[in-house]
Amino acid sequence: MHRPPGHRTQSEIDEQTTLGAAYVRSLMRSQLRAGLTAFGVLALTAATLPLFFGALGRPVVVWTVLGFGCYPVLVLIAWWYVRRAERNERDFARLVQGAESSPASDGAASASDAAPASDGTEGR
Amino acid sequence: MHQSYAIPAVAAVVLATVLIGGFGLRISRTTSDFYVASRTVGPSLNAAAISGEYLSAASFLGIAGLLLLHGPDMLWYPVGYTAGYLVLLIFVAAPLRRSGAYTLPDFAEGRLESRQVRRLVSVFVVGAGWLYLVPQLQGAGLTLEILTGAPRWLGGTLVAAVVVLAVAAGGMRSITFVQAFQYWLKLTALLVPALFLVLAWQGDGRPHAEFDEPAGLRQQQSVRVTEPVDIRLNAPLAVTLTGAVDGRAYDDARVTLAEGTHRIDGGTRLTFPEGSQVPAAEPSSSASRPLATSRADHPLYATYGLIVATFLGTMGLPHVVVRFYTSPNGRTARRTTVVVLALIGAFYLLPPLYGALGRLYAPELTLTGHADAAVLLLPERVIGGLGGDLLGALVAGGAFAAFLSTASGLTMAVAGVLSQDVLPSRGVRHFRLATVLATLVPLAGALLVTGVPVADAVGMAFAVSASSFCPLLVLGIWWRRLTPPGAVAGLLLGGGSATVAVGLTVGGAVGSGWPHTLLAWPAVWSVPIGFLAMVLGSLATPGSVPPHTSATMTRLHLPESLTVRQTATAAEGERK
């Protein structure tokens, strides 16, 4: 699927250098952001639905929404999240390999710039 | 119900379980095979196994029973059971798999590097597992009693015996096959009769019942009340009575009960004429007041309590968590979870159908306290004849598959923890001993404690799990500053307070009003307590952050493509 990871960046992550930690932190941040977005949609829906049902007072609506309508929505949120999480991991793998392929002398410096930068683009 | 068909159906399910378990025995060789099926279970087989394990008696029988009793608000149960998997996917699935641990205590020790936290988590895993096993065994007893008239203890003992055999024989590898088979069996067992039920309902002129009205009888119906019950009548009711009402004995006497509340003694038979309204059973103030009934006090709060417990509790259920270790890697663990969501979502379309039809065709079940039996009784009641009997037998087989699969998954998880943390050695022989231990205790509980509805008992296990394991997993995976003292504080305060609340509710210490509602639905306050205690406890002990936190975090979050050799060595080193 992609090239085997480069030795240099790989060992940085393994050995817990500051740079390696920064890499992992940026991955965690982007994954957590994807997770919180999906969870936020779920929590907001779950929090407002009981109030909505109470105000509406029509059992038929409750039957339809909770009995049938909500399951496709749950699967859709899950599907979106998995796509997002896998993309984050692909981007991260590309970043780690990209750092390795650049000249050895400034490889570390460009990678340390790239880690927060990729994190910033993720939010848009 | 005709035993001549139900008994062979149940026997066939039991036999198939043992046979498939035995098949697993022949290919289950190593310790790793035993605990995690050597981590080689692909998404579709694993997803069917996870779903088969997860869809318990509470799903198969309990949801329809609750809908029959309490109406559409109870639909939050299946929605919560499904959404819990989504939350699990979002925060836990891939990192948990990448942690390379076998059980929740393994995860706790690996992440926090503390034997003390490990022991505490083990206690909670065993406790939550047993709490969840009791209603499975009780449900089995009830089902077998309704189907065949066998004594109540027989069903639970039968399930316990089969589970011990299947789990002790082949461990996780054989259980994976058994549970994948049981998912499809359960789906078929509800789907096929449901199609015929809907056809019969169509042929019946598509009657429908309003949920805010008391259920009306469509034909003369006889009801035998097993336990004393209070009924409230809004209008005089003519019934034929054999037994005792309000302290007066009757023998096949036609009586008109006046408006107001009446007490019907256990063992009384009431025959209602066609068209009469089935009186609603009053929530009695006795100890075993069902949780769902107590919703009436503060329904909105109870709904939120249910949502919080099921959404956040799923990730901590011991038998759910252990399944993720059987995926080959974190990416597969995620994809498996999406398939699980689709599979259990498809299954949960069916129980509400039974609940709605049960309200139409078997409304008298609200009186007998056996609403959980609605799914079992409907085919015979609505379709009748040979077809009804055969469909009823199919449903009975599916119900037994539900007890067997969930009970074997739980036994597997509890036995795994017992054999690692309680018994001295980790060999396969000790695992088999642990299996027996893991089943005997809840079996004793199921025989001693009665009268807690299946879905309610399961709801309590969810509340305990949500308040203890959810903070531990979420903070453990996403927060670097978590410390062992903080984790202990969170587990004890969050999980402990939920456990105490559940104990007080079951024990009947608090009768009614807000105190009762708050204790019966603890998740709304106990989950924040768990999180808060864990965060504050960790911030207060910054010196205790585990030394290898950074390395652990890397292992949890790094894709396998970048860490192939790391995980391989870590996984081997931990167990061997």
Domain count, chain A: 1
CA distances from B28 to B38, B165, B381 (A): 9, 14, 45
How far does the CA of residue A44 sit from the closest CA of chain B (Å)? 12
pLDDT of residue B453: 60
Q: Is residue A91 part of a domain?
A: yes
Q: Domain range for residue B259?
A: 221-277
Given a cut of 80, whether residue B383 has pLDDT beyond it is: yes
Written as one letter, the residue type at B258 is A
pLDDT of residue B468: 93
Contacts of B550 in chain A (CB under 8 A): 16, 21, 24
Rounded to an integer, what is the distance from CA A119 to the centroid of its chain? 11
The pLDDT confidence band at residue A119, using thresholds 50, 70 and 90, is very low
| pLDDT, chain B, mean | 80
Contacts of B559 in chain A (CB under 8 A): 89, 92-93
Lowest mean pLDDT among A38-47, B236-245, B362-371: B362-371
Q: Is residue B214 part of a domain?
A: no
Task: Give the nearest chain B residue to A76 (CA atoms).
Answer: B338
Q: Is residue A5 part of a domain?
A: no
Q: Do B75 and A68 touch (CB under 8 A)?
A: no
Q: Do B89 and A13 touch (CB under 8 A)?
A: no
Write the pLDDT tens digit of every residue in B204-248: 777 776 555 555 665 666 666 666 677 767 777 777 877 777 777
Quick one: DSSP state of residue B494? I
Residue ending a domain, choose from B247, B277, B307: B277
Q: Is residue B209 part of a domain?
A: no
Write the pLDDT tens digit of every residue in B400-430: 888 888 888 888 888 888 888 777 666 667 7
Among the partner-chain residues B72, B85, B212, the one whose CB lies closest to the CB of A63 is B72
Given a cut of 70, whether residue B436 has pLDDT beyond it is: yes
pLDDT of residue B173: 62
pLDDT of residue B281: 63
Q: Is B554 on the interface with A (CB under 8 A)?
A: yes
Distance of alpha carbon B142 from alpha carbon B453, whole angstroms: 11
Q: Domain range for residue A45?
A: 20-117
Pairing mode, if any, of strands B237-245 and B248-257?
antiparallel
Q: Is residue A81 part of a domain?
A: yes
Task: Give the nearest chain B residue to A7 (CA atoms).
Answer: B562
Which residue is associated with the tokens 């067992």?
B189
Q: Is B25 on the interface with A (CB under 8 A)?
A: no
Q: Is residue A25 part of a domain?
A: yes
% chain A with pLDDT above 70: 63
Q: Is residue B212 part of a domain?
A: no
Given a cut of 60, whether residue A14 has pLDDT beyond it is: no
> Would you call B482 exposed, middle or buried from its count of C-beta atoms within 10 A (0-12, 13-18, 19+)?
buried
Q: Do A79 and B551 touch (CB under 8 A)?
A: no
Structure tokens at B231: 């009924």
Given a cut of 80, whether residue B322 has pLDDT beyond it is: no
pLDDT of residue B448: 79
Structure tokens at A34: 């994807």
Neighbours of B297 (CB within 10 A): 15
In terms of domains, do B263 and B320 share one? no
- Residue B149: φ, ψ to 5°: 75, 10
The pLDDT confidence band at residue B324, using thresholds 50, 70 and 90, is confident
Structure tokens at B402: 């539900």
In terms of domains, do B328 and B408 share one? yes
- What residue spans of chain A are helical by DSSP H? 7-14, 18-56, 59-64, 70-101, 104-122
Among the partner-chain residues A24, A54, A86, the one whose CB lies closest to the CB of B558 is A24
Lowest mean pLDDT among A11-25, B48-62, B172-186, B189-203: A11-25
Enumerate residues 332 to 351 of chain B having a beta carbon within 8 A of any beta carbon in chain A: 334-335, 337-338, 341-342, 345-346, 348-349
The answer to whether B122 and B354 are in contact (CB under 8 A) is no
In terms of domains, do B387 and B413 share one? yes
In terms of domains, do B171 and B250 share one? no
Higher pLDDT, B435 or B368: B435
Given a cut of 50, whether residue B569 has pLDDT beyond it is: no
Neighbours of B170 (CB within 10 A): 25
Enumerate residues 556 to 575 of chain B having a beta carbon within 8 A of any beta carbon in chain A: 557-559, 561-562, 566
> Would you call A7 exposed, middle or buried from its count of C-beta atoms within 10 A (0-12, 13-18, 19+)?
exposed
Q: Is residue B523 part of a domain?
A: yes
In terms of domains, do B443 and B459 share one? yes
Q: Do B341 and A72 touch (CB under 8 A)?
A: no
CA distances from A111 to A92, B51, B190, B333, B376 (A): 11, 43, 56, 30, 63
Written as one letter, the residue type at B323 is R
Distance of alpha carbon B141 from alpha carbon B139, whole angstroms: 5
Which CATH number goes with the domain that contains B192? Answer: 1.20.1730.10
Structure tokens at B307: 């949502």
- What residue spans of B215-298 are helical by DSSP H? 291-294
Query: What is the rounded end-to-end Cα distance, in angstroms, of chain A?
Result: 27
CA distances from B7 to B2, B27, B457 (A): 9, 31, 27
Distance of alpha carbon B574 from alpha carbon B35, whole angstroms: 13
* Spatial CB neighbours of B380, under 8 Å, sequence gap ≥ 6: B1, B2, B388, B389, B392
pLDDT of residue A71: 94
Enumerate residues 392 to 421 of chain B having a beta carbon within 8 A of any beta carbon in chain A: none
Listed ranges A106-110, B83-87, B203-207; the one with the highest mean pLDDT: B83-87
User: Which residue of A8, A9, A14, A73 to mutate against B (max B Cβ within 10 Å)?
Assistant: A14
CA distances from B325 to B320, B452, B554 (A): 10, 33, 18
Lowest mean pLDDT among B21-30, B235-244, B295-304, B562-571: B562-571
How far does the CA of residue B216 sit from the closest CA of chain A (Å)? 18
- What residue spans of B449-508 are helical by DSSP H? 454-478, 484-490, 496-507
Among the partner-chain residues A47, A81, A92, the one whose CB lies closest to the CB of B559 is A92
The pLDDT confidence band at residue B260, using thresholds 50, 70 and 90, is confident
Closest by CA to B17, choosing from B350, B452, B409, is: B409
- With H, G, I as helix, E, B as strand and everything else as coil, classify residue B271: strand
In terms of domains, do B74 and B166 share one? yes
Write the pLDDT tens digit of every residue in B1-56: 456 777 888 888 888 877 776 666 665 555 555 555 545 666 788 888 889 888 88
Given a cut of 70, whether residue B285 has pLDDT beyond it is: no
In terms of domains, do B298 and B192 share one? yes
The pLDDT confidence band at residue B494, using thresholds 50, 70 and 90, is very high
Q: What is the rounded radius of gyration, in angstroms, for the C-alpha atoms of chain A? A: 21
Written as one letter, the residue type at B80 is G
Q: State the ipTM, two decimals.
A: 0.82
The answer to whether B52 and B404 are in contact (CB under 8 A) is no
Q: Do B75 and A63 touch (CB under 8 A)?
A: yes
How far does the CA of residue A106 sit from the closest CA of chain B (Å)? 22
Task: Give the nearest chain A residue to B475 (CA atoms).
Answer: A32
- With H, G, I as helix, E, B as strand and everything else as coil, classify residue B237: strand
The pLDDT of A94-106, averaged and rounded, is 59
Q: Is B130 on the interface with A (CB under 8 A)?
A: no
How far does the CA of residue A43 sit from the closest CA of chain B (Å)? 9
Domain count, chain B: 2
CA distances from B90 to A80, B8, B80 (A): 11, 43, 15
A–B interface: beta-carbon pairs under 8 A? 116
Higher pLDDT, B352 or B286: B352
Contacts of A54 in chain B (CB under 8 A): 300
Distance of alpha carbon B30 from alpha carbon B346, whole angstroms: 35
Write the pLDDT tens digit of every residue in B518-537: 888 899 999 999 999 999 99
Given a cut of 60, whether residue A101 has pLDDT beyond it is: no
Higher pLDDT, B65 or B487: B487
Q: What sign has the CA pseudo-torsion B429, B430, B434, B440?
A: positive
Distance of alpha carbon B75 from alpha carbon B68, whole angstroms: 11
- What residue spans of B422-453 are helical by DSSP H? 428-448
Given a cut of 60, whether residue B132 has pLDDT beyond it is: yes
Distance of alpha carbon A110 from alpha carbon A8, whole angstroms: 14
CA distances from B12 to A110, B1, B475 (A): 66, 18, 45
Cα dihedral B163, B168, B169, B170 in deg (nearest 10): 90
How far does the CA of residue B60 sit from the closest CA of chain A (Å)? 15
pLDDT of residue B568: 44
Contacts of A32 in chain B (CB under 8 A): 478
Q: Is residue B210 part of a domain?
A: no
In terms of domains, do B294 and B396 share one? yes
Given a cut of 60, whether residue A43 has pLDDT beyond it is: yes
